[in-house]
Amino acid sequence: MEPGAGSFSEEQFREACAELQGPALSGAAWELLVETRGFSVYRLLDQQTGLYAYKVFGVLEDCLPDLLADVYMDLAYRKQWDQYVKELYEKECNGETVVYWQVKYPFPMSNRDYVYVRQRRELNFEGRKVHVILAQSTSKPQFPEKSGVIRVKQYKQSLAIQSDGERGSKVFMYYFDNPGGQIPSWVVNWAAKNGVPNFLKDMVKACQNYRRT
């Protein structure tokens, strides 16, 4: 799919479901990066950028799939629990819902912002109910670049969620972005290695608090 096409293919949704059932790590140089907090994080080097794509597999305990998907989609709530959000909202552009997201970066680095489309679907995959959320960067004239903020033009994420059979969620996530600018690739990769597990931990806390709202 080309960025800005406004929709994702059926195949892309089903691929995410399939990864949740059995990780597709063969046939490419995926390497295990870290195992932490019940999650395994794999990475694959992108030769063009020197950055890595990531696949994450694991279980979030005490966080039901429907709730987890709702929390992930709720942009207003994310501004409350995600300390790195500077600005985050949705806007209709020619019948298409587009997300604007600005992320706080530590001084002296410039903040980054994202413009992307996303879709959520519930699928019946091999008799299991799976929530799938896909996101990909796009370009829209309604979201011009801002002075002092670097636009992230390569961003892609897939999230698949199903019940672990108890009170938790089995999760698969694919993630890649290129933050641009003059940040050394090793710094970006180090941040992703630590940031992905921390984000999932924060998601669990957000789910617990969401129940009481």
Q: What is the pLDDT of residues 63-74, one digit of tens each?
A: 899 999 999 999
| Confidence band for 101, pLDDT divided at 50, 70 and 90 | very high
What value does the mean pLDDT of the chain take? 87
CA 15 to chain CA mean position, Å: 16
Q: How far is CA 161 from CA 76, 142, 169, in A?
A: 21, 32, 6
Angle at CA 174, nearest 5°, toward 173 and 176?
140
Choice between 8 and 188, residue whose per-residue pLDDT is larger: 8
Q: Does domain 10-20+27-209 fall into CATH 2.40.128.30?
A: no
Span 145-172, average pLDDT = 93
- pLDDT, position 213: 47
**Dihedral over alpha carbons 193, 187, 81, 41 (to 10 degrees):** -10
**Dihedral over alpha carbons 62, 63, 65, 69 (to 10 degrees):** -170
- pLDDT, position 1: 35
Residue 86 has pLDDT above 50, yes or no: yes
- pLDDT, position 89: 96
Q: What is the pTM of this model?
A: 0.89
From 15-29, 59-73, 92-106, 179-193, the region with the lowest mean pLDDT? 179-193
**Pure H helices in the chain:** 10-21, 65-73, 75-81, 185-210
Domain extent listing, the chain: 10-20+27-209
211 φψ region: left (φ > 0), alpha (ψ -120 to 50), beta (else): alpha
Instruction: For residue range 23-42, list pLDDT tens digits in order.
Output: 888 777 899 988 877 888 89
- pLDDT, position 114: 96
